[in-house]
Structures are given as structure tokens and as C-alpha cells.
Structure 1
Amino acid sequence: MSNIIFVFTNFNNSDFTEKALKSIQSSDACDEPVIVVDNGSKEIEVNKLKELEKQFSNLTVIYNRENLGYFAGLNAGIKEARELPSYTPKTVLVVGNNDLLFDKAFKQQIFADETLLERYPVISPNIRMLDGTQQNPHVIEKISKVREFIYDIYHTHYLFAGMIVKLAQLTHSFTDRKDEEQFDVEQEIYQGYGACYLLTAKYFELFDGLPTDTFLMYEEFFLAKQLRSKGFQFYYRPTIKIQHYCHASTGLIPGKLKWQYSKKAHKEYRKYVKVWSKEY
């Protein structure tokens, strides 16, 4: 039987986990297992999760003493999910942030075309913020050299980062990338937005878990790199619908610390993406 297992990370925002659980409970995936990996939250948030375990019989929580990072945290949940009795070769793992709301027909949407699940390791769903902003397809082909140059400047100094953010807010109507405007076009894409992925049995034929090159940020690129190493790309499926609060966890991180995480991840990214090479 085809089934799904949800795997989320939680970091000092257990109220969002509760909202996600209620969303699942109201959908056609209401009986499917949910694994939440807590990445070293404060005691008050951990206690909220313990109460949720009492309320939701399908919930398992893994309590980490420290923050492992995003993909490393998900990997702990993925390992647990693959050891559940309900896990089968046709199981799809829905992995990502905990600040998500799922469509009432979510499971039906996933299994509407099982040939795609057999063919692609990772499916990217239609992710829309509560204000209607589309977040997929995140990157259809590649990022322009101009934008890559701006990324470099952004990561040279925290002051420059703030200036670029303010400028982007003022000019977003004509400087935003246009990839997300193709939100209704089903297609192969270079990168899917990192808030949620569907990992199929094909993924686990090729890999043991998500790449952990960075603690936080640039996960989309490193997952794309992992897929390309085996000749695959993300597949964007607009009929699988998710709503996203956005930045529920990263919004709790102080601005400068978040920029430092991004700077470190960008440095790792630049080892592989050489913008000024002939191949780019």
C-alpha cells in the first residue's frame, strides 16, 4: 500500500508544529506517521512537544540536546521513519520545516501519478506563502552572473548585506527573479525551495540521506548537486499544494548570526559554483 511519512524539524517554535499536525489531521493523510526532530529547543518548547505527543497518536518526537542543523536534523528523522513498520518501498517521505499547512487532499495529490514517484528521487511541491507569494519553482535553470555577483557582495560584510536587503525591498517589483511566475508549469527544475521536499523510494536507492555540507542555508543547491551526481533533477509538481508561514525558525535567529551562517554556506557553495569560468 502506498503511504507517506512526515518528517519535520522543530526549533523553539512548537506552536507551528501543532498547526502542522492539525493541518495533517484535517487532511486525507490524517493517519500517516509524523516524526518531529527537535533541534535543542528551550525547555518550554520541549514541554509543548511532550503535550503534543499525548494529543496526537501518530506523532513521534526525537529530542536532540543540541541543534544539528536543518538537513542533519531531518536525517535523524528520516532514519527513524525508515525503521517504522509502515515504511515500504512505495513510501514517500514528506520532509521539511514545521511551519507548513497541507491541502485537504494532500495524499491524493501525491499519488495522483505514481509513475513520477518511480522516476524521480525528489519531487518539489507547490509552496505558497500565506500572502499568496509563490516559492516554487525556486530555480528553473541557473542564477544569473549579475545576481551571483550581488551574492558575493552580500557576504563580504554584514553592513553590505543590510544595504542590499533594503535596496531589494525597494526594487523588488523589477529585480525579483521570475522563476516562481511559472508556478503552474509542471517541469524538471534545477532547485526546489527548501521548505519541503518529497523523497521517493528512488531517492533511497541512490542516497542514504540529505547532504549536510552546511549547517543552514544553501540546502537547495547541495541537494541539487547530490541529485546531479546521479544524473537527476528535481521535478516540480504544481498540483501538490502546501502553504508556508515562512521563516518560523530562521526568523528566531539574530540577524547577524543568520548572516554568518549564510556567509559560511556561501563559501562552501563557491567551491563548486565558479561564476566567471567558461563553463558557467
Structure 2
Amino acid sequence: MKNLVKNNKEQYDFLFVILVYRNGKDLYDFDTSLRQHLSSYQVVVINSYMDDISNQEIESIANDLKYDFISIQNKGYGYGNNKGIRYAMEKYIYKYLIICNADIIIRSFDISKLPRSNAVIGPKITTLNGKAQNPYWAVKNKPMERMIYYGLLKQSRLRMFIAQGCNKVIRELFLMTRRKANLVSKVYGVHGAFVIFTKDVIEKLYPIYDENIFLYYEEAYLANYLQRKGIKGYYYPLIDVLHKEDGSTKGMDIDQHSLASSSFVYYYETYVLGKDK
């Protein structure tokens, strides 16, 4: 459902910005779930260009679903999402903007307690094997970040194992105290597969992402950025999504471990060790 305002911009409650690479077929499942739960929305698909064939296929899918489509150079997650957000800001009026993976299926979408301003919100996200992905980081944990950083520098699997295990324990304890009550709770960091921004946050913080981070650990950067700017993060289990995982990286000819390592080292050295902008 769309409405036109005085400046002829279409107005929606929710704008979805979906960055894809090579494969857009997951959009069909996403769209089916979207139509079941929302009425006032628009979707912007941004294709990180690989070749003409995939570009044409993804554009065809977007057109079939009546989504907006733009094709850009493949310069990574931050660059692509910033381009999509800018497009959405210029073309539409909205209440919330959602950065979303294509490989998402919406299972419930209760907005009765959704924060209306100064908020970035992460829903309940579950993978196909039942793993909970939100909150990404329930609390800011400086020792854990330090351990990840030195674990990557020294290529220490033990340090990485301890840091990841620590975060998993904190997440499970957090969820254990809130699961029955289905509580909306403040958190430090939310998972990047489905992130809801209130409009005022987009307008205040744009560009949202650091484009030097090509892929991975954008959640760490975003959590740090939001805290420095006084934006509140929330875990919001009244919205529940299934994340099929790997839809955004499937088929990519990259060294995922090396890319993830360089992303976190850049984040940590730039925003934690004081080489900030």
C-alpha cells in the first residue's frame, strides 16, 4: 500500500534495502513471507555487479516482484548498502528502513512495541540449524574484542575459540532470561542480516557504514558507531525471521577467513585503538 505526499514521493511504513551478489533467487521466498506480514512497504534491490548475465537475471527478478533495482560496482557491503540507503532516502518517505539479506524469511512481524525514534533494532534471528544470531553482542565486551584482535594478529585459534565461546555464553544467558517473557531489551550490537533503523537515525548518521569494511564484522563497527552517537540498540523478539545463511556470499571467489580477519583488524585499530575519524 502506498500513499503520495505533497512532494510526490511515495510514502511507506517500511523500506527494505537488500544488497545481492550473483544470485537473487532467494528474493522469491523473501517476498512470499513479506506479503504475508506487511502491507505498507517497498523494497530496493542493489546488485553488486559481477557480470551481465547475473545482473540481467537479478533485475528480472526485481522487476517481477515490483521491487526497485539498481546496479553498482562491487565494492563491498558498506558501499553497497550506503548506495541503497541514499537511493531510498531520495526517493521515498518512510518510518523505518531495514537493511536485510535476501536469504531471509519473515515468520512474524508484530510492531506493537517497536521503538519509534533514536533506535536500531535487531529481531529474533534463527538459522536453519536452530542457532540464535541476535543479539550479536548483548553487551560491550572490551576483553573479548581484544582477544579477537590479538587472536587474529597472532593466528591463535585458541584465543578465537575462547572469545567466540564467551560471546555465545553471554548471548545464551541473555536469551534465557528473556525467552519466556518475549521482552524487548537494550543490547550493544545486532546482527547484520536484518537491521531496522528508525528514520531519524538514518538522517542523523548517514553514511551508515564504513566503506573500508568490504565484508564481515560490520556489526562490530555499527555497534561502536551507534554507541558513540548516542543511538540505542534493541533486541526485539516480536519480529521473528529465519536466516537461511550464506545467500549473500554463496559463489563468491574470496578467502572468507582472510577477508573477515582484515575487516576486524581494520575496525579494531581504527575505532577502538584511537585512529578514529
Q: Report if TM-score (shorter chain) is over 0.5.
A: yes
Aligned position for 2:171 = 180
After TM superposition, give the deviation of residue 125 of structure 1 in Å: 1.1
- The counterpart of 2:38, out of the listed 11, 29, 32, is 29
After TM superposition, give the deviation of residue 12 of structure 1 in Å: 1.4
Task: Give the Cα–Cα distance (whole angstroms) in 2 for the partners of residues 203 and 63 of structure 1.
Answer: 25
Task: Give the Cα–Cα distance (whole angstroms) in 2 for the partners of residues 40 and 217 of structure 1.
Answer: 19
Are residues 1:6 and 2:1 paired?
no
Aligned position for 1:253 = 252
- The counterpart of 1:43, out of the listed 49, 52, 62, is 52
Q: How does 1:138-149 map to 2 (within 5 A)?
A: 138-143=136-141, 145=143, 148-149=146-147
Q: How does 1:240-279 map to 2 (within 5 A)?
A: 240-254=239-253, 257-271=255-269, 272-273=271-272
Aligned position for 2:70 = 62
Q: TM-score, normalised by structure 1?
A: 0.79
| Local SS of the residue matching 2:91 | coil
Structure 2: gaps (5+ residues): 1-10
How many pairs are equivalent? 254
Q: Deviations over 1:76-110 (max 9, x none)?
A: 1111212234x14xx1111122111112x42xx13
1:77 maps to amino acid: G
Closer, same or farther in 2 for the Cα pair 1:142/1:84, shift >3 Å?
same
1:34 maps to amino acid: V
Q: TM-score, normalised by structure 2?
A: 0.80
| Local SS of the residue matching 2:41 | coil
CA contact (8 A) 1:72 1:210 kept: no
Q: How does 1:219-258 map to 2 (within 5 A)?
A: 219-254=218-253, 257-258=255-256
CA contact (8 A) 2:105 2:243 kept: yes
Q: Deviations over 1:221-257 (max 9, x none)?
A: 21112212222231111111111011222343356x2
| Local SS of the residue matching 1:76 | helix
Aligned position for 1:78 = 85
Could you tell me the percent identity over the aligned residues? 24
Q: Deviations over 1:134-179 (max 9, x none)?
A: 100111113363674255223445xx66x988x78xxx9x766223
Task: Give the Cα–Cα distance (whole angstroms) in 2 for the partners of residues 43 and 129 of structure 1.
Answer: 32
CA RMSD of aligned residues (A): 2.8
| Local SS of the residue matching 1:216 | coil
After TM superposition, give the deviation of residue 191 of structure 1 in Å: 0.8
Which consecutive aligned stretches of 4+ in structure 1 deviate over 6 angstroms post-superposition?
A: none
More strand by share: 2
